[in-house]
Structure 1
Amino acid sequence: MEIGIQGVEGSFHNEAASSYFADRPIEIRPFHDFRSLAKSINAKQMDYGVMAIENTIAGTILPNYALINEYDLKITGEIYTRIEMNLIAHKGKKAADLDQIYSHPMALLQCADFLANYPKIKLTEYDDTADSVRFIRDEGMKNAGAIASKKAAEIFDMDILDSNIETNKKNYTRFLIMTSRMNGHDQIPQKASLRVITKHDPGALAEVLLIFKLHGINLTKIQSMPILGKPYQYAFNIDVVWADYDNYKDALQALNNKAELVKVHGEYLKGNIPSV
C-alpha cells in the first residue's frame, strides 16, 4: 500500500503514517510540498495521503484547509502524534563537538531552551527536519548536527546524542488521513470535518452553532477561512463529534436548511491523543 507524505522518509509525517497503518505493510512516497501531495491524492496516484493540519504549539496550518477544499479531498481518519525532537549527529560525536546544527526553523524554535546550553553552536535553518539529517550525512559534515525524529536517525544510520530536547513536552501534531473523494464507511463514524458558509446576516453563525447544541453535537474545532474572490467573507471549518450518529445526521440536515453551503470533508473514527 502506497502512502504519500510531505517531507522525506524519517519525517514526522512518516512517523504518523507508520503509526496509523501499523497493521499493514506500507511504502512511503515523499513529496516536497503539500500542494504536490494534494494533487497526487486527487489524481488517485496512491492509496492514501497524510497531511498535518494543526500543532499544539504552532497552531493551525491554514493553507492545508484550502488544499483540502480545492482538491476535494476526503478525510478518512486522523492521528495525533507526539513531536519528540532529538539531536542527531555522526557516530562517535558529542554535543560539545558540534559547531553547527541544522533543522526546520520551527524545530529550532521548539528546542530553544536546550540550544541555549550551547551558545557557540551556529543554528542554521533547513527545509525539513529529516532531510537535514540526510544533508549532514551526505555532505560528510562531521562536526554538524541536526534536530529531527528518532526515525530519521534510524533511516540515515546516525547517532542520537540527546533525546526529547523540545522545551514543551506536550507538543502534538494532528495529521489527517486523506483519499480522493469517495462514498461509504467501513465503520460507523465518530467525527466529521465540515466546511460551512453561513448566510451573510446578523447572527447567522450563532444559528448554525445552536443547531449543533440542540442535537447534542460537540464542536472540537472551528476555524474561519477567507473565501477567495469574496473579500471579508469567510467559510468556517468545523470539526464535530457525537455519541449518536443519527443525531449528527439530523443536525446535518438542519444545517443544510440553514446555511448557505455545507460541505462534508469527511466522516471518520476519531483519533486518540497520546499521553505524555
Structure 2
Amino acid sequence: MTSSLNSSEHIQYMARAAIKECPFADEGAIAGLRYRDTPYWHSLLKCRRLGIHRPDGRTCNWTARILTKDKRYIQKCLGPALNLGRGQVTFALAVERAFAWFAQADVQRISNEPKPTGRTREISICPIGDVYTVGHALRDYTDWTRLARSPGGHYNNLILINYHLVPSFAHLPLEDFDATDVLALAKQVIETPPRFGFMPYSSREEVQEVSVDVLRRRKRTFNSLLSILRMAFRHAWDSSRIQSERPWRCLGEPAPLKWSTHEA
C-alpha cells in the first residue's frame, strides 16, 4: 500500500533545499555572528524563517518566525543555539521544532501559505511505499535528466511536472496507468490556465471558452507532458520497475495533438 506524507512532513520536505543551505547549521558560524538586537534570519519557505538571536554574550537562541495573513511577524524561541550554561539545541532539533510550530493548527490558521523559496530544483513530492507509482517514475526520471539534460531543459520539465502531473497523477500505481488517464490529462491541460511565479491558481475553463491561440499553446503543453511521461515510463520499464508495457505504450508514438474545438 502506498504511503503519503502528512501535512507537516510535506511542508518540511518542500524546504529541504533551503535547510541544506542554512548558514546556521555550523556551530562555528553561529559563534562568529556579531551581537545585535535583531535576529539573523534564513528563509526556509516563503513566510517561514529560522533565525539566530544573539543580542549579547549571555544569550544566543534559535528563533522561528512566520508572516501572518494580515502582514504581522510572530516569533517563537526554540532553545539555545550555543551552550552558554543552559544547554544547547542542535541544528537538526531546531529545524524539527520550527516545523512542529509551523504545523500547529493555531499557527496555520493565521499564517500565510508556505511555498518553496527560490528556483524549483526537484519535483514537489517524496514518493514512498512498495507500490511503484507515477510519482516514483517521475522522480527517477528527473534524477536522470538532472545529469543528462541541460539545466534549462531539466528546469522546464520540473515546472510542467509539478503543475500538471503531481497533483492529479503522481499517486497512481504506474502499472494501472492507461488510456483513460491520458484522456483525463488532455482535458485537464486544455481546461487549466497557466500559472506564473506565485500567482494564485485559476479555476478551470470549459474548452468552448478557450480562444484558438490559447488552445494551440495548451496543446503544445499537453504534447510536452506526453513526451515527459513517455520517457519516464520507458525509463521505468528499462529499469525493471514495472512488468507491463502498457503504461508507456498507451501514450502512443510521438505525434502532436490533433483534436480541437475552434479549428476546422
Fold-level similarity (TM above 0.5): no
* TM-score normalised to structure 1 length: 0.23
Q: Which has the higher Rg, Structure 1 or Structure 2? A: 2
* TM-score normalised to structure 2 length: 0.24
Q: Which has the higher contact order (CA 8 A, sep 6+)?
A: 1
Q: Which has the higher strand share?
A: 1
